[in-house]
Copies of this chain bind each other. A is one copy, B any other.
Amino acid sequence: MLELRHLRTLQALHETGSVSRAAARVHLTQSALSHQIRVLQAHYQSPIIQRHGHAVQLTEAGRRLVQLAEKILGEIRAAERDLAKISQKATGSLRIVLECHTCFDWLMPIMDTFRADWPDVELDLVSGFHSDPVHLLRHGAADVVIGSEPGLQPGIVHFPLFRFEILAVLAPGHELGKKRVLEAQDFSRDMLITYPVPDERIDLIRQVLIPANVTWQRRTAELTVAILQLVASRRGIAALPGWGITNYLDYDYVIARRIGRRGLWSDLYLSVREETATLGYLQDFLATIRQVCFAKLEGVRPLRAAKQRKK
C-alpha cells in the first residue's frame, strides 16, 4: 500500500513546501501528487498535510513519514551503490571542470562524501579558466563539466541538475535597495563585481545588460567572500546565486534584490562523455548532487519538469 513513490513525494513535499514544486521535483504532475496524498490519508485514516492557504505544513503523521523517507531512501541509495560496485569495477577518475565559480560552495561537501563512498575513484577539480570546457571532455583532459546551457554535442551527454535564481547583491542601505526589483539601467551607475571570466559567461551581462543596451563597469575578484566584502564596503554591486548568499543575508551583511520582473534564472547541467554516463559512480555522483542541492540549497528548482519520460 505504501510505496517508495509515496516516500519520494513526501520528501519533496517537505523540502519544497508546495505540491506543484514537489511534483516537478519527482517528475510528475501536480495532479498526480494530489491524488497520492489523498490515497495516503485515506489509507492511514489521518491527515498528512495541513494547508495554510497555499503553503502546506506536515502534520505529525506527515513528519513521521518524512522521517521514514529520509532513512529508507538513504538506505536504498547505499545499497544500490554497493550493487553498482558488485556489477562493475569501482575504480576510475572523475576530473571535474566548474564553469560556475560559486558552485564550489556546494560541491566541496559533496566531494567529501563521494570520496568516502568511492575510495577508489580519483576525484579532482580541473583548475583554471577554460573557454570551451566540453573540449576538455573530448580530449580526455576532464571527465565531468558542471555548467550551463549546453549545446547539443554528439558523443556528450547532458544531465540537468537544477535551476536557480541569480540575485543582485547590494550593501545594506544602498539606495537601489529601495526598489523591490532592479532593472538593467540600475546597473549602469555602480561598479559591477564579478568572477574573473569573460563578459559572455556572466549571465547578468549576457541576458540583461547587453539586450537592454546598457553599459557597465566591471572589476573582478576570485572568491565569493571577496566579492561580498567589496559589495558590503560599497565598492560596487554583484549578481550571485541566491543559495550562495543566504548566510550573508541572514546576518544583514548584504541585501539582495530580484533582477527583472520574472527574475534572472540560470540552469545548471552536468555533462560527460557518453561512455562515462553509464558508470555506477557517475550516476551516484549525479544522484548525490541532486539530493544534497535540493535539500540544502535555498530557492533551487528542478529542471525539465514534468515533460521528460523516464526510460
Q: Using a CB–CB distance below 8 Å, which chain A residues touch chain B?
A: 2-4, 44-46, 60-61, 64-65, 67-68, 71-72, 75-76, 79-80, 82-83, 86-88
Contacts and interface: CB of A to CB of B under 8 A. Distances in A.
A65 B75 CA distance: 11
30 contacts: A2-B4, A2-B76, A2-B80, A3-B3, A3-B4, A44-B80, A44-B83, A44-B87, A45-B87, A45-B88, A46-B83, A46-B86, A46-B87, A60-B86, A61-B83, A61-B86, A61-B87, A64-B79, A64-B82, A64-B83, A64-B86, A65-B79, A65-B83, A67-B79, A68-B76, A68-B79, A71-B75, A72-B72, A72-B75, A72-B76
Given A3-B3, A46-B87, 12 more contacts: A2-B76, A2-B80, A3-B4, A4-B4, A44-B80, A44-B83, A45-B87, A46-B86, A61-B87, A64-B83, A65-B83, A68-B76
A60 B67 CA distance: 29
Contacts of A65: 79, 83
Contacts of A88: 45
Nearest to A83: B44
A67 B72 CA distance: 13
The secondary structure that dominates the A interface is helix
A74 to B, nearest CB: 10
Instruction: Report the 10 A-B pairs with minimum CB-CB distance, sorted nearest first.
Output: A46-B87, A68-B79, A45-B87, A44-B83, A61-B86, A64-B82, A72-B72, A61-B83, A46-B86, A60-B86
Best-surrounded residue of A3, A60, A86 (most CB of chain B within 10 A): A86
A265 B75 CA distance: 40
A290 to B, nearest CB: 16
A181 B34 CA distance: 60
A79 B68 CA distance: 7
Given A3-B4, A45-B87, A75 B68 contact: yes
Nearest to A59: B86
Contacts of A87: 44-46, 61
Contacts of A44: 80, 83, 87
